[in-house]
Amino acid sequence: MGSAARIFLAEAVGTAILIIGGVGTAVFDGDKAGVFGVALAFGLSLAAAAYLIGPISGCHINPAITAAMVVVKKTDVRLLPSYLGGQVVGGLFGALLVWAVGQGMPGFTAVGQDGQKTIVSVSETGFASNGYGIHSPDHYNLGAVMLAEVVATALFALVVLGTTRRGFPVAMGGLVAGAGLALVHLVTIPVSNTSVNPARSLATAVFQGGWALGQLWVFIVFPLVGGALAGVAWQALSRAHEAAAMATAREPEPVTVSE
């Protein structure tokens, strides 16, 4: 199996783990787990996936992270189809499994129908979709959701990029990235139900349908913008760090005079 095929398969498996663990918790146990529990589930899912597939593909499992990696030249642009294809396929497969299990519960529906009434609150739809306006958990408007997604994705991507720097303990990468993902979920679940990942948003929107597909563009465009901005910011930070290191190396050692 070639490297492109291995990356596709690894990213598909990793993204499926993220959807099953994170979205599955929100769908099946969201009321009991609460915001903290759902955020922790996403973080733990990423950590588990990182240790499983990290050595194969780097465990992006998120188009926004792939965008950041391309910007900083840590990922070959020619491998984009393998990364993005694996993420989309894995996300849809994970969402399909969550949906299929949900069919075993009486009254379960992904589209939020209650008799003749259409349920419009994200927290009540049953499929963890992302949204703004009346489809935001706390009814945040489009502008607030756009800003939250860009900032949260950029911060999360910077954390991930930080785990790739020279000298960072490789064994800690999954835990740090998982903690970063959990953190941004804690902040933004009330705002948009937290995307920061176009593959995750696409996976749930396909099964939610209707309004979720109509608003999906927000959760594709703005996480990608955040990921790209993180890549640009990381390049600037890296250059500043290298310049400081070189300046320190050039400084003469202090001379001590013995009596």
C-alpha to C-alpha distance for 35 and 252, rounded to whole angstroms: 53
Q: pLDDT per residue over 93-135, tens digit each?
A: 999 999 999 888 876 766 654 444 444 344 445 589 999 999 9
pTM: 0.87
Domain ranges of the chain: 3-110+119-246
Give yes or no for a contact between 225 and 67, defined as CB atoms under 8 angstroms apart.
no
Write the single-letter amino acid at 179. Answer: A
CA-based radius of gyration for the chain = 20
Q: Which residues of the chain fall below pLDDT 70? A: 1, 107, 109-126, 240-259
CA nearest to 15, candidates 60, 50, 61: 61
Predicted local confidence at residue 238, as pLDDT:
80
Predicted local confidence at residue 118, as pLDDT:
42
Burial (CB < 10 A; 0-12, 13-18, 19+), residue 119, is middle
Q: 3-class DSSP state for residue 164?
A: coil
Predicted local confidence at residue 103, as pLDDT:
85
Q: Which CATH class is domain 3-110+119-246?
A: mainly alpha
